[in-house]
A and B are shown apart, each in its own frame.
Chain A
Amino acid sequence: MLRNKRMKIARVECDFSQEQLAKAVGVARQTIGMIEAGNYNPSLNLCIAICKALNKTLNDLFWEEDLR
């Protein structure tokens, strides 16, 4: 799995810590860390919740251009 740098950048841009984002979407901080590290594939529901919390679209954060 690839690291999700875009999600990390978007989180930092929103001035969110991992802890704050985790609280906003209702998951553990470790889960956010693992998604950013590419060690966990979140469900579509969680992806949407993260996108809403960070004001981004699914394409912005989770679409892999290289795979097309």
Chain B
Amino acid sequence: MKLFRKIVDERQELEMMRVERGSFWVMLLALVVAILVQLFALGYDFEHIAGEFIALVIGAVWSTAGYLRRGSWDYFTKPGVKTYALYSLAAGIIFGLVAPLTRYFRYGAPLLDCLRVFAINFISVYVLAFLTLLLLGTITKKRQKKLQQEYKEDK
């Protein structure tokens, strides 16, 4: 006997999944913001945010693995060089700005120093994000092809 028997119908399940999807993204985003604020604005060490970081990584790995298994990418784009470049640019700008802004506003570092930090961070994040997306995109495309073969029309 199953310990938990599902007692919701398909509509209720769909509505619950919509709510859960929204809350998942809010939590993931909140975790990223919390980690960045604690690390850069409050100056905490990594060991102070280890719990949040592990939760973030588990959530991200779980959803990424699920997407890869089903050959899904995202809601708005297809895997391709343009997409990787665009997302990497966004990641580079957002995460590249955190450290220089903190240095500028918190420690009053000179603007030129901050710009140099931004340039280094931007390039590092851009390259890392691009390579990661390239790898994930390639796996996704392969998986999509495999699934297409699996459900190919009988001749």
Contacts and interface: CB of A to CB of B under 8 A. Distances in A.
Interface residues of B, number: 5
A28 B11 CA distance: 9
Which of the four size classes fits the interface of chain A? 10 to 19
Interface in A10-68: 26-28, 30-31, 34, 40, 42-43, 45-46
Where chain B touches its partner, the secondary structure class is: helix
B55 to A, nearest CB: 34
Contacts of B12: 28, 31
B74 interface: no
B9 interface: yes
Nearest to A25: B9
B45 interface: no
A30 B12 CA distance: 9
A43 B12 CA distance: 13
B153 interface: no
Contacts of A43: 10
B9 A34 contact: no
Contacts of B11: 27-28, 30-31, 34, 40, 42
Nearest to B9: A27
Interface of B: 8-12
Interface of A: 26-28, 30-31, 34, 40, 42-43, 45-46
Given A27-B10, A28-B9, A45-B10, 9 more contacts: A26-B9, A30-B11, A31-B9, A31-B10, A31-B12, A34-B11, A42-B10, A42-B11, A46-B10
